[in-house]
Structure 1
């Protein structure tokens, strides 16, 4: 990848290593639908005024069908499913399960005829990344209920296919504009269910409320703008390799900020994950010229 690609990749790995912890904290006091509505409302409040002011709203709405598909696959479905799942699953296990996204994305790309070749080196890198996560977090699903696991599985499908919509159907739409519309639509969808529950905010801890705010500001508004830029820089399959680093970032934050122990699994798993990411994002020599989508400078 280019220097810009690596910068975006590392930034996204860090930013999207936070949500698992933040969601776990938030759903301890707040209903999942309130968490999703809150992060979407905060994100839309930041991004939508920019979209309107720069005249990007109308051009984006012309592509409303693929934009609606992206909204459902990336936000409306997965974010509620994740919040529901983390009511009973640990954030670490959830992050481990979501790490299946690159494999599902590779399968989806194969079925849709995506030109980004999945070489043996990249497959080996994805397998190494998954092995590193298992070493890092362990694989303990004993006692996990079927419905939360199914919710994470549906989330994986959504996360794996949404970037294909971006690269194939929305290459000329501003990433910030598309994100702002998607956030607004998702907030509107969940508003009737979330607003009646807002009177319970007085009973929620300040940490839970702050978690939702950070989810909206950093892990939603900022992250989505960067994610669009990353997809257009390195392609949807390579962009999704961040799901290998996200759980590692979450564990490292626990060690640094919460005085959690630096385990043998961390010492072994993190280097393996880093090596796996390097191989999984390896760009082989192209067989022929390929069109390069425009980079969203605003993102």
Structure 2
């Protein structure tokens, strides 16, 4: 990857390690549905003027059906799953479970990048990490298991969305694509929260600030950077941002929310990261055999 791609990689890694912490704060006073709808609306409102001034919105003409599909699998579905999932599990565990995404991307891209023996070992190792996390950290807690399952389903959705962007929408400017997906998501979710708004006086300042951060930083800015990263580095490498996300999520959860980190969490995290690294290693082209002369 070139320097710009690396800068985008670091930026997205940090920005997408923060949401789990902010979601935990926001859902103290706001419903999960309102948190998701609110961050989408804030993200769209921030980016529509930017895209309009740049004249990139015309790139969405004739593409809205695909953009709506992307909004479903990259925003509406996973955002809701993660936000509701965090009502049952910690923000640090959520961030770690999302790290399985590169393994899923490797499977989805198997046709273009074959799964070698090393990659197979990586896939098995990553899956073992998930088993350790779910088995040790939330065993015996049916609501914890439900929350973990929701987050894992969100990781699957994220992986499919990443592949979808590379294969079908890589030619759409990132600002226009982000406007399209956040606007569609806002329109879909608003009816579900419009008549269930909380009493403003019952919502703390921390929750409002967390929601603003989710919309401006973790949605608008992060998606702009991520879509551009996919265009520069491809979906497999872009998906590797989830290597760093858990580190940020765990640090914020432990330091600021005082969430516990057990042996299962540490072991599962190491297995998942190792598995992801092995399963997404680039395939070396086979050296051409010399043609015998004479």
TM over 0.5: yes
Work out the CA distance in 1 between the residues paired with 2:270 and 2:60: 41
Secondary structure in structure 2 of the residue aligned to 1:209? helix
Per-residue deviation, 1:32: 0.9
1:20/1:168 CA distance change after superposition, 3 Å: same
Deviations 1:182-217 (A, max 9, x none): 101111111112222334232011111111100001
Per-residue deviation, 1:168: 0.7
Partner of 2:291: none
Partner of 1:116: 113
Per-residue deviation, 1:10: 1.9
Q: Any gaps of 5 or more consecutive residues in structure 1?
A: 289-299
Partner of 2:106: 106
Partner of 2:292: none
Q: How does 1:30-179 map to 2 (within 5 A)?
A: 30-110=30-110, 113=111, 115-120=112-117, 139-142=136-139, 143-145=141-143, 147-179=146-178
Work out the CA distance in 2 between the residues paired with 1:283 and 1:148: 33
Partner of 2:209: 210
Partner of 1:197: 196
Partner of 2:229: 230
Work out the CA distance in 1 between the residues paired with 2:252 and 2:61: 39
Per-residue deviation, 1:158: 1.0
1:262/1:100 CA distance change after superposition, 3 Å: closer
Secondary structure in structure 1 of the residue aligned to 2:137? coil
C-alpha root-mean-square deviation of aligned residues, in Å? 3.2
Secondary structure in structure 2 of the residue aligned to 1:51? helix
Structure with bigger gyration radius: 2
Partner of 1:245: 244
Q: Is the 8 A contact 1:96 1:134 kept in 2?
A: no
Q: TM-score, normalised by structure 1?
A: 0.81
Q: Is the 8 A contact 2:100 2:276 kept in 1?
A: no
Deviations 1:8-49 (A, max 9, x none): 222211111111111111112111111011101110011111
1:264/1:51 CA distance change after superposition, 3 Å: same
Partner of 1:18: 18
1:274/1:156 CA distance change after superposition, 3 Å: closer
Per-residue deviation, 1:257: 5.2
Q: TM-score, normalised by structure 2?
A: 0.82
Secondary structure in structure 2 of the residue aligned to 1:232? helix
Work out the CA distance in 1 between the residues paired with 2:26 and 2:230: 29
Secondary structure in structure 2 of the residue aligned to 1:196? coil
Q: Any gaps of 5 or more consecutive residues in structure 2?
A: 288-294
Q: Is the 8 A contact 1:92 1:247 kept in 2?
A: yes
Work out the CA distance in 1 between the residues paired with 2:13 and 2:134: 17
Partner of 2:290: none
Work out the CA distance in 2 between the residues paired with 1:196 and 1:287: 61
Secondary structure in structure 2 of the residue aligned to 1:65? helix
Work out the CA distance in 2 between the residues paired with 1:22 and 1:286: 43
Work out the CA distance in 1 between the residues paired with 2:35 and 2:229: 26
